[in-house]
Amino acid sequence: MMRKFIVVLTVTLGFVTTAFADEGMWMLNLLKQQKLTEMKSMGLELEDYDIYNPDGSSLKDAVVQFGRGCTGEVISSQGLVLTNHHCGYSQIQSHSSIENNLLDDGFWAKSFDEELPNPGLTVTFIERIDDVTDYVTECLKRDSNEDSLGVFYLSPAYLNKIAIEKVGEEYLKANLGYEVEIKPFFEGNQYYMFTKKIYSDIRLVGSPPSSIGKFGADTDNWMWPRHTGDFSIFRIYANKEGNPAPYSADNIPLQPKRWLKISNEGVDEGDFAMMLGFPGTTNKYYTSGEVAERRDIDNSVRINMREVRQNAMLEEMLNNPEVKIQYAAKYSGSTNAYKNAIGTNWAIDLRDFEGLKKAEEQRLIKWAQDNNEPLYIEALNEIENILNERANLRYRSWMLNEGITRAVEFAAVPTKSSDELADAIESGDGDLEILHENLLNDFNRFANKDYNVEVDKKIAKTMIKAYTSLIDKDKQPEYFNQIYAEFDGNIDKFIDYIFENSIFGNSENINHFLASEAKSAETLRNDPMFLFVKSVREEAADLSRKLSTYNIPFAKARKTYIKGILEMDGPYKHFPDANLSLRLTYGQVKGYNPRDAVAYSHQTTLKGVIEKEDSSNWEFVVPAKLKELYLKKDYGNYKLGEDIMPVNFVATTHTTGGNSGSPVLNGRGELIGINFDRNWEGVGGDIQYLPDYQRSIIVDIRYVLFIIEKFANSTHLIEELEL
């Protein structure tokens, strides 16, 4: 209670809140200057170079970016990578069918030959991190004549160009699979270059059935207590020299520079825990106005429109097993951000984020006045003015995006091939056979194995009704005039007409068009689905153009505002917002009190899985073999105390999207769990850390080992690990 009182008092008095021991997503290369002493006082037994050493082996060499949005960890000398079940979900889904449903049944390769390749999946190692702020500053000065708008300082294309310039083309040619990337930090007040090594032959080794890996599904998503075995196992393959290479049957398992040792000792309340990973996006440096915009526009639109879409989608999934497979990943992806928005708005209001950010602004204003730095006050005024001016455009853009572009599948139909074919038919110039093939390929990519035309029609009708009820007619895409002019406002008839008359409406229509000897350019030009898509894109582009006029002045004002904070507080006090770069967070294993008279423990067990079982609800089905192991108390060496099987635990580490799959380590740097979620009460931590509420939800590594050994009988994988 005293700690909370002190924090509230400091905000009230207008002083900066001291960063809590558990707050922050810290740069690995600055641990010694920023957080090493504090981490040691909490239980860390390592030195900073044990965690990050660009010139030798360290823990960072066992942590990878899995795909483009998750984290994984190397856990064996033969390149095994552990990540979340939901991070590998699309790969597991791609190998699934009605006859061989890996999502429902799980998958366990018994040999290297049985491991399944995944085209397009990559695993990225960070070789080193270098501060290149001075270098970028000099390049920006050098190239200022080319930068008439003054935007190079945040441009990925420009920053990556000068990254290659810095290391040289020959360096990249001599180091297969290497890439370099310069990222801006603190809105372009600092820059770091990341040297990466990227592997592209990644094979699925094992995953539990969704009844374990996704137990609780969307009902339990963002919730604690949790009872989910959210893990999957992949393996990195390399050529015979150990270098990255495309998939080949001749490739061999990677022999990594470092892999994690695994501790099966378990965790206790108060234990030190740290996590390395690739957090995606946070907004710690929002102003009070940005907090209000996030709550009242972005989150509110997302909550309202996704609820409409999800209800329609779920009804179809529950009525049809094939649809359930087709739309599982789409539904999960939608609900993830939906619950996040709800939790964020709850936190914004409960903890008065607007007030907290206003206090930070007032502190900077006073400092700026005392130090004769008016530009920081001007930057704050500029931010506020822009937020007010763009509010209506932003609302319309979010409504179009959440209500139509993201929600209606046929709104993503490609139209380039149809336009090229129409041009060729009219001019009589062009290889019609190739253009016909391109059009068919477009259709097949759109109407793929995970697409159901009846589901798309139903959701489209539902979403367009919701969208048109909230946006004025003259602010809707132009083609929507057809709803009122031709169909008397009947959206159901409008959508049915589109599918009945579009060549992309179904496979019969496209085949009939391609089989016709008299293919008409007019048919392509007037295709109702293509007209719908183009109209939506034109409206989106128009809104984007109008909003973009604010982007440059807004970004420059934010850079100036944050520069003021850094000048006021010094270079090592703050951590930069997450941007998918490698970070470290640390804290304690600890439960919490979500509401009055309610206390949550730090640990859940298999008993809780059995208590939640509901055979009539697909989210809470428990596999028969897992129940059998529970009844026999057959837990091997992984039990907690007397015949108790641990499942999940929580820690005060500061995480966000991108930390999914992150290794959770004890003070000796040994793997004790895999991060997979946050609690609903803590998602507002993307804006302001919530020490009383924020918890990372973690799969206990003992549950992972138990499932591999006892449930899957994959003892060969256990033997591969270093316990």
Burial class of residue 428, CB neighbours in 10 A (0-12, 13-18, 19+): exposed
Q: What is the rounded average pLDDT of the residues 137-164?
A: 97
**Two structure tokens written together for 329:** 């990943």
Q: What is the rounded average pLDDT of the residues 71-87?
A: 98
Residue 1 has pLDDT above 70, yes or no: no
Q: What is the pLDDT of residues 224-278, one digit of tens each?
A: 999 999 999 999 999 999 999 999 999 999 999 999 999 999 999 999 999 999 9
Q: What is the rounded average pLDDT of the residues 444-453?
A: 92
Q: For residues 352 and 366, what is the distance between their CA atoms, to the nearest angstrom? A: 21
Q: For residues 385 and 544, what is the distance between their CA atoms, to the nearest angstrom? A: 19
Across the chain, mean pLDDT equals 94
Residue 616 has pLDDT above 90, yes or no: no
Q: Quick check: 212 and 626 in contact, CB under 8 A? A: yes
Q: What is the DSSP letter of 585?
A: E
Q: For residues 652 and 23, what is the distance between their CA atoms, to the nearest angstrom? A: 8
Q: Quick check: 184 and 159 in contact, CB under 8 A? A: yes
One-letter amino acid of 367? W
Q: In what helix (H) or strand (E) does residue 195 lie, and over which residues does it extend?
A: strand 190-199
**Two structure tokens written together for 275:** 């996590």
Q: For residues 171 and 505, what is the distance between their CA atoms, to the nearest angstrom? A: 50
Q: What is the rounded average pLDDT of the residues 643-649?
A: 96
Q: How far apart are the first and last CA of the chain?
A: 40
Q: Look up the CATH architecture of domain 2-122+200-282+575-720.
A: Beta Barrel (2.40)
One-letter amino acid of 158? Y
> What pLDDT is attached to residue 14?
35
* DSSP-assigned states of every residue in 214-254: TTTHHHHTT-SS------EEEEEEE-TTS------TT-EE-
Residue 689 has pLDDT above 90, yes or no: yes
Residue 296 has pLDDT above 90, yes or no: yes
Residue 352 has pLDDT above 70, yes or no: yes
> What pLDDT is attached to residue 329?
79
Task: Give residue 22's pLDDT band: very low, low, confident or very high (50, 70, 90).
Answer: confident
> What pLDDT is attached to residue 21?
55
* DSSP-assigned states of every residue in 696-713: EEEEEHHHHHHIIIIIS-
Residue 17 has pLDDT above 50, yes or no: no
656 closest CA partner among 588, 585, 710: 585
Residue 4 has pLDDT above 70, yes or no: no
445 closest CA partner among 482, 409, 496: 409
629 closest CA partner among 688, 564, 709, 553: 709
368 closest CA partner among 378, 359, 357: 378
Three-state DSSP state, 63: strand
- What is the radius of gyration, based on Cα positions, of the chain? 27
* 256 upstream amide cis, omega within 30 of 0: no
- CA angle, 82 then 700 then 703, to 5°: 85
Task: Give residue 11's pLDDT band: very low, low, confident or very high (50, 70, 90).
Answer: very low
Q: Quick check: 185 and 579 in contact, CB under 8 A? A: yes
Which positions are annotated as active-site residues? 86, 230, 660
Domain residues of the chain, as ranges?
Answer: 2-122+200-282+575-720, 123-199, 288-548
Give the pairing of strands 232-238 and 201-207: antiparallel
Q: What is the pLDDT of residues 671-686, one digit of tens each?
A: 999 999 999 899 999 9
Residue 581 has pLDDT above 70, yes or no: yes
655 closest CA partner among 672, 678, 671: 678
Q: What is the pLDDT of residues 455-471, one digit of tens each?
A: 999 999 999 999 999 99
**What is the percent of the chain where pLDDT is above 90?**
89
User: Which of 4-8, 223-227, 295-299, 615-619 has the weakest average pLDDT?
Assistant: 4-8
Q: For residues 55 and 29, what is the distance between their CA atoms, to the nearest angstrom? A: 12
Residue 8 has pLDDT above 80, yes or no: no
> What pLDDT is attached to residue 491?
98
397 closest CA partner among 558, 579, 550: 550
Q: What is the DSSP letter of 196?
A: E
Q: For residues 703 and 90, what is the distance between their CA atoms, to the nearest angstrom? A: 23
> What pLDDT is attached to residue 35?
96
Q: Quick check: 62 and 77 in contact, CB under 8 A? A: no
